[in-house]
Amino acid sequence: MAAGLDQNAVILRGRSDGIAIEIASGRWEDLLQLLSHRLEQTDGFFAGGYVVVDVGTRQLNEAEVDLLGRVLASYALQPGLVRTTDERTFQAALALGIPCAHIGLDGSVINEAMPAQADDNTFPFFVYRGSLRSGQQLYRHEHIMIMGDVNPGAQVASNGDILIWGRLRGLAHAGVEGNLNAIIAALDLDPVQLRIGTVVAAGQSGQPLQPGQTTANGPRWGAARTADRRPEIARLVNGRLLIETWDDVKTTGAPLLKRRRA
Amino acid sequence: MTATIITVTSGKGGVGKTTTTANIAAALALANQRVITVDGDIGLRNLDLVLGLENRIVYDLIDVVEGRCSLTQALVRDQRAPALWLLPAAQTRDKTDITTDQMIRVCTALRQYADYILIDSPAGIEHGFQNSIAPADRVLIVTTSDVSALRDADKVIYLLERDWRKPPGLVINRYNARLAQKGEMRTIDDVLDILAIDLLGVVPEDPNIVLASDRGTPAVYDPKIQTAQAYYNIAQRVLGNNVPLMRFSTGSFLTNLFGR
């Protein structure tokens, strides 16, 4: 036991479907030791249950969040949701693929990323609220749903589909692990590069313009917003990447939407 | 009353951080604020040149940190404004010669002498950038509307949100309204569409501003440079006053009149 640590620094509460853990301030290693001690006392009662961990305002890096995951794993528990008010902690949990929620100081949800309710017929969905900026990366095994923009320089990758309720102007890679049925869809599909499985296609945005030339949508992603943009869907047809507007898919591509019940 | 610390940064180099820092600082000083500028670019100091104070430097930031002089001894006064000082960087040393803690301590100690402290951050996102960001209450991102500057600014905003939780404001520099209107360059709206942060001001492209910096006289000191109004407006917005965006001449009438 860590000496000098408030015994109430780690609080365990039972829930109907598992357990809620609240971690107050203190040294992270000491707190995890205390948590470990508490879980020991439950004698495996919550094993396999749903775990919500509230880490408060603390700023944690990837290694520290990972340590939390390991402590829980040693008691046959999985972090079902990490709640934090800290953006850095949120990003760390995100990078580790742990469902997480970024909570404002007023208790409102700023950002959340979690696998949506899965049933037997579908891949689970991973929902990300917010925009991805240059240098930011999101990689998930599940389908990804982004409610926001993917800016140039940002990367998003999934083994399933990638749906973007916003503009895709960075790099999107669907079916990273070889799923050739994956699709990429966005309200405004203007990527630097698209990849599905092993097929790579350069976006219009990546092409150099001739001096004085502007594209149909203006100079790259600049004036595109004023042009007539429609929701588009990219998929593989005979090994080539095909991009169609939603209107075309809706009328002729019904099989696309019904395919695959893997 | 203690000072508000504002760091001016951009990610990419050469977009006008130093010129922007010098002009906003001078504009704030002319609005009767006590202002201290700090050059965070140790080893590649420029702010003293743009402010025209190079010849009066005796001590620098590293001398303060290493105890060779007091904080106030190192401050160089700009006589053209009521209350404007520069804390110069060392030209002979390196970014790693000062730790983040030391930078925070120096800036905290400076707070009692000023209303605003402006830190001119080096380009990049490494140690020097982090040292400049750490003490900041607010961050100003300077960008031009070209593709590389925007890409880097976007990354810096991401880092600020992720690691620092400092609210950034945006200054669009060297804005060419004529090219934007012709659809050949991004407009202000296009830039804001990508970066999605608060806009503090737009500085039009004007060779006079560049020349003024080159001569060591920030453009706001020269009444003949009309575009310097942009900096006065930014200073007013920093002070919390609501000022409408400048109107940009896009050619026709003014161009014909002045032939540029």
| Confidence tier at B166 by pLDDT (50, 70, 90) | confident
Using CB atoms, pick whichever of A88, A134, A221 lies closest to residue B155: A134
Whether A78 has a pLDDT exceeding 90, the answer reads no
Q: Where are the domains of chain B?
A: 4-241
- Do the interacting molecules here have an ipTM over 0.85? no
Q: Give the A:B interface size as CB pairs under 8 Å.
A: 57
Instruction: Kindly state whether B163 is in contact with chain A, defined as any CB-CB distance less than 8 angstroms.
Output: yes
Q: Token digits for B150?
A: 């925007």
Instruction: Kindly state whether B151 is in contact with chain A, defined as any CB-CB distance less than 8 angstroms.
Output: yes
Q: For residue A133, list chain B residues with Cβ-Cβ distance below 8 A.
A: 154-155, 157-158, 161
| Confidence tier at B20 by pLDDT (50, 70, 90) | very high
Rounded to the nearest integer, the mean pLDDT of chain B is 91
**pLDDT digit string, tens, across residues A31-75:** 888 888 888 888 778 777 788 898 888 888 888 888 898 888 888
Residue A257 pLDDT: 58
* Contact (CB<8Å) A134/B152: yes
| Confidence tier at A259 by pLDDT (50, 70, 90) | low
**pLDDT digit string, tens, across residues B80-100:** 999 999 999 998 888 889 999
Whether B260 has a pLDDT exceeding 50, the answer reads no
Whether A121 has a pLDDT exceeding 50, the answer reads no
Q: For residue A225, list chain B residues with Cβ-Cβ distance below 8 A.
A: 189-190, 193
- Give A4: exposed, middle or buried? Use CB within 10 Å, 0-12, 13-18, 19+: exposed
Instruction: Kindly state whether A134 is in contact with chain B, defined as any CB-CB distance less than 8 angstroms.
Output: yes
Instruction: Kindly state whether B159 is in contact with chain A, defined as any CB-CB distance less than 8 angstroms.
Output: yes
**Stretch A148-168: mean pLDDT, rounded?**
93
Instruction: Kindly state whether B147 is in contact with chain A, defined as any CB-CB distance less than 8 angstroms.
Output: yes
- Give B230: exposed, middle or buried? Use CB within 10 Å, 0-12, 13-18, 19+: buried
SS (H, E, C) chain B: CCCEEEEEECCCCCCCHHHHHHHHHHHHHHCCCCEEEEECCCCCCCHHHHCCCHHHCCCCHHHHHCCCCCHHHHCEECCCCCCEEEECCCCCCCHHHCCHHHHHHHHHHHHHHCCEEEEECCCCCCHHHHHHHCCCCEEEEEECCCHHHHHHHHHHHHHHHHHHCCCEEEEEEEECHHHHHCCCCCCHHHHHHHHCCEEEEEEECCHHHHHHHHCCCCHHHCCCCHHHHHHHHHHHHHCCCCCCCCCCCCCHHHHHHHCC
* Contact (CB<8Å) B184/A134: no
Using CB atoms, pick whichever of B145, B157, B183 lies closest to residue A133: B157
Closest residue on chain A to B190 (Cα): A222
Best mutation target, B188, B194, B197, to test chain A (most A CBs within 10 A): B194
Q: Which domains does chain A possess?
A: 1-105 (3.30.70.260), 116-262 (2.160.20.70)
* Contact (CB<8Å) B155/A153: yes
Instruction: Kindly state whether A259 is in contact with chain B, defined as any CB-CB distance less than 8 angstroms.
Output: no
Instruction: Kindly state whether A104 is in contact with chain B, defined as any CB-CB distance less than 8 angstroms.
Output: no
* Contact (CB<8Å) A131/B184: no
Q: For residue B165, list chain A residues with Cβ-Cβ distance below 8 A.
A: 87
Q: Is A206 left (phi over 0), alpha (psi -120 to 50) or beta?
A: alpha
Own/partner pairs for A12-15, CB < 8 Å, 24+ apart? Answer: A12/A38, A12/A39, A12/A42, A14/A46, A15/A49, A15/A50, A15/A52
C-alpha A168: how far from chain center:
15
Residue A120 pLDDT: 38
Place of tokens 């982004």: A146
Best mutation target, B125, B146, B151, B154, to test chain A (most A CBs within 10 A): B154
Residue A252 pLDDT: 65
Q: Which CATH architecture has domain B4-241?
A: 3-Layer(aba) Sandwich (3.40)
